[in-house]
Amino acid sequence: MLVDWLGPDEVDMNSESASVVELDVGRRLMVLAQHGGACRWLDDALRCRVYAARPYDCRLYPFSIEPSRDGVSASLSLLSLTACEDTRDGRVSAAELAEDDHARFVELAEYHALVSRWNRLARHRRRLGHRARSAHEFHEFSGRLGRPER
């Protein structure tokens, strides 16, 4: 399983409202699946097995980038919960991190638009008395929207 779906009892739905998906089992937040409390893609040596295809949040880890109020500059900090070797090797480029951070927000905006469209359709289905759709159907929906028309 690539993802898990968290319910309202597992996550603050208000702080993630743009990412909350209306499903047949209720409101859910999609997250990367974990195994034993860690990312399921880590191997026994705690190395990422999907490194080249990892999400932007993973590419930025363990850094936190906070844009300034004027949107011109940003503050770069290290998350305190890690002892990641990459933070000490001197090969981390601030420009590369900024590029990844921008790409992450572009990707997130696209995902929020997808969720918004799905949820609008879910509300419409509910008004018409039709059943809500499943997580599997959400994945199919999101995949169809990413493909060019034939």
Strand, helix or coil for residue 89: coil
Rounded Cα distance between 149 and 136, Å, is 21
Q: What is the mean pLDDT of residues 20-40?
A: 89
Q: State residue 84's pLDDT score.
A: 53
Residue type, 128: L
What confidence tens digit (pLDDT) does each residue in 46-99 have? 888 888 888 887 877 777 777 677 766 666 666 665 555 554 455 667 777 778
For helices 135-146 and 94-127, what crossing angle results, to 10°?
120
Question: Where do we find the tokens 């509910």?
Answer: 126
Rounded Cα distance between 133 and 24, Å, is 5
Which of the pair, 56 or 30, is modelled with greater confidence?
30
Q: Which residues pair with 77 in a beta bridge?
A: 64
Q: What is the mean pLDDT of residues 129-145?
A: 89
CA distances from 78 to 64, 70, 87 (A): 6, 22, 8
Q: What is the pTM of this model?
A: 0.74
Phi, psi of 21 (to 5 degrees): -105, 135
Q: State residue 13's pLDDT score.
A: 87
pLDDT of 1 > 80? The answer is no
pLDDT band at 16 (very low <50, low <70, confident <90, very high): confident
Rounded Cα distance between 4 and 34, Å, is 8
Q: State residue 25's pLDDT score.
A: 96
How many whole angstroms from its chain centre is CA 21? 13
What confidence tens digit (pLDDT) does each residue in 96-125 have? 777 888 888 888 899 999 999 999 999 999
